[in-house]
Structures are given as structure tokens and as C-alpha cells.
């Protein structure tokens, strides 16, 4: 597919965000962003220590957070607002109230009918990361990664106004769909959904995945012995976006 205007805008913003300006000017940019967006920097280094706006976006925690070590507890993969949740019924889920979509289309054509069938009757939850949130994502439970598919697409905003007016927004946007299996043998999907100004979605366990690049067709990655633990950092959005877990 040809690059959409939203991709070009996101790439342009990415170039600005990645540029390392002279320290005095970068300090102004970073401090202005923190103030404008209302970032809580209590768990992070001072804004003027980040050499680019993107390094501020993708900041890491100074100290690991505490979370339940109970294997049966499923933790949130990110800091976010939960925009919708519910049960998958007749292959439908909600991007927001009144706007439903087919889960099969979200997962894409590179998963078999058998692989997709595991989510029917299961639950879905949408995690929306605003530009003020911590942008890194973490593993929600001890798991094995079975498969990942990078699906090129558009970069529409994923805020509430956009979710309310654009049907199938999650399906139109670029995404990375990850099929996982818990230690109890339950399968689920984590779907990283792009958004406007999200130039990159990093996936640390598979560096070959390069989003908002020159890829025009879905790319499939199979895994045999990739195990990740609850709380592990596995990448980040370079700006706010959405994670859908089904």
C-alpha cells in the first residue's frame, strides 16, 4: 500500500523529536513539553537530562515498580486510560461505545482460523496512552511468544474524538499483533496500535520489526523459545497510542 499522509506527518514529527538540539534549546523544548502536557516526572530523571524530545518520550523508570508476583494475576502492560473493555461476542469487540469492529480483521490475515478462534467468548481491553503517559510497555504475565505480525497501515489519531467518528480505526492503523501463551497454556493477543505522530513502535524481542518504514505488506515472525517474564520492558511507543489485549 502507498504511504498515507498520516505516515508522512508522523515521519516528519519523528525527525524533529529525534533531533538533538543544543543543550540550552533542548532544555526549553523538554521543559515546555512537560509543562504543556502535565507530565509527572517523579519516577524519572529531570527533563533537561534527555538529549532529545524522543528520549524524553521513551524515558525509563529510575526504579522498577512493585507489582503482584502471583502467577495468576495479570498486570496492565502500560500506564493508560482504559477506553473500553468487554467480551468478544460473534467475533465483535468495541473500539469505543457504539463503535464495534471484527476481531478477525484486527488480527489480520496472517493468523489461521484456528489461531483466531481462541478469543471467541474471551475478553478485550483497550489501553489508551496519552502524550503525557509513560510510553514504555511491559509484559503483563509470564508468557511464551508464539508469533508476531507487523501490519502496515495508516496513522490516524486514537483519541476519543477519533474513535467516535472513524469506524474500524484500529483496523486501518498500522499495528503489531503478538500471539502469546501463558504458563497455564492460555492464548491471548497483544496488539500495538499506531497513532498520529507515533513514528515507531519498538518491539525489543524482535528488532527486525521496523514500523512506519518502507514495508508495504504484512511481515510474519515465528518464535520457538522466546519466553518473557511479567514486568519485563519489551519496547515503547514514540508518542502516545493504544494497546489492545484480547
Active site (annotated) includes residue 150: no
For this structure, is 79 an active site residue?
yes
Q: Is 241 a catalytic residue?
A: yes
Closest by CA position to 103, among listed 188, 18, 11, 207: 188
Specify the residue for cell string 496500535.
193
Strand, helix or coil for residue 202: coil
From CA 103, how far away is CA 91, in angstroms rounded?
Answer: 6
Distance separating alpha carbons of residues 63 and 60, to the nearest angstrom? 9
Measured CA to CA, the distance from residue 184 to residue 144 in angstroms comes to 11
Give the active site residue among 79, 83, 133, 150: 79
Contact assessment for residue 133 and residue 79, using Cβ atoms and an 8 Å cutoff: yes
* CA 68 to the chain's CA centroid: 22
Yes or no: say if 189 and 200 are a contact pair by the CB < 8 Å rule: no
Contact call for residues 166 and 156 (beta carbons, < 8 A): yes
Question: All 3 cell numbers of residue 184?
Answer: 497455564
133, 138, 150, 194: which is the annotated catalytic residue?
Answer: 138
Residue of 10, 83, 194, 241 marked catalytic: 241
Residue numbers annotated as active site? 79, 138, 241
Amino acid at each position: 500500500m502507498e504511504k498515507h499522509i498520516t505516515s508522512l506527518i508522523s515521519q516528519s514529527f519523528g525527525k524533529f523529536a529525534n533531533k538533538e538540539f543544543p543543550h540550552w534549546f533542548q532544555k526549553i523544548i523538554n521543559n515546555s513539553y512537560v509543562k504543556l502536557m502535565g507530565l509527572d516526572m517523579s519516577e524519572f530523571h529531570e527533563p533537561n537530562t534527555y538529549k532529545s524530545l524522543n528520549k524524553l518520550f521513551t524515558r525509563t523508570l529510575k526504579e522498577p515498580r512493585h507489582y503482584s508476583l502471583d502467577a495468576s494475576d495479570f498486570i496492565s502492560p502500560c500506564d493508560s486510560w482504559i477506553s473500553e473493555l468487554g467480551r468478544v461476542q460473534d467475533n465483535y469487540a468495541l473500539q469505543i461505545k457504539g463503535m464495534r469492529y471484527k476481531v478477525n480483521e484486527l488480527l489480520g490475515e496472517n493468523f489461521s482460523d484456528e489461531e483466531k478462534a481462541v478469543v471467541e467468548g474471551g475478553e478485550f481491553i483497550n489501553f489508551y496512552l496519552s502524550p503525557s503517559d509513560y510510553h514504555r510497555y511491559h509484559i503483563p504475565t509470564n508468557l511464551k511468544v508464539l508469533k508476531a505480525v507487523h501490519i502496515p497501515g495508516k496513522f490516524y489519531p486514537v483519541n476519543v474524538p477519533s474513535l467516535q467518528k472513524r469506524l474500524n480505526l484500529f483496523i486501518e492503523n498500522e499495528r503489531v499483533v503478538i500471539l502469546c501463551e501463558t504458563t497455564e497454556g492460555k492464548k491471548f493477543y497483544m496488539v500495538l496500535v499506531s497513532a498520529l505522530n507515533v513514528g515507531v513502535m519498538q518491539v525489543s524481542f524482535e528488532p527486525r520489526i521496523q514500523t512506519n518504514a518502507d514495508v508495504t505488506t504484512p511481515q510474519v515472525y515465528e518464535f520457538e523459545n522466546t519466553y518473557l517474564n511479567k514486568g519485563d520492558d519489551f519496547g515503547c511507543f514514540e508518542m502516545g497510542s493504544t494497546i489492545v489485549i484480547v
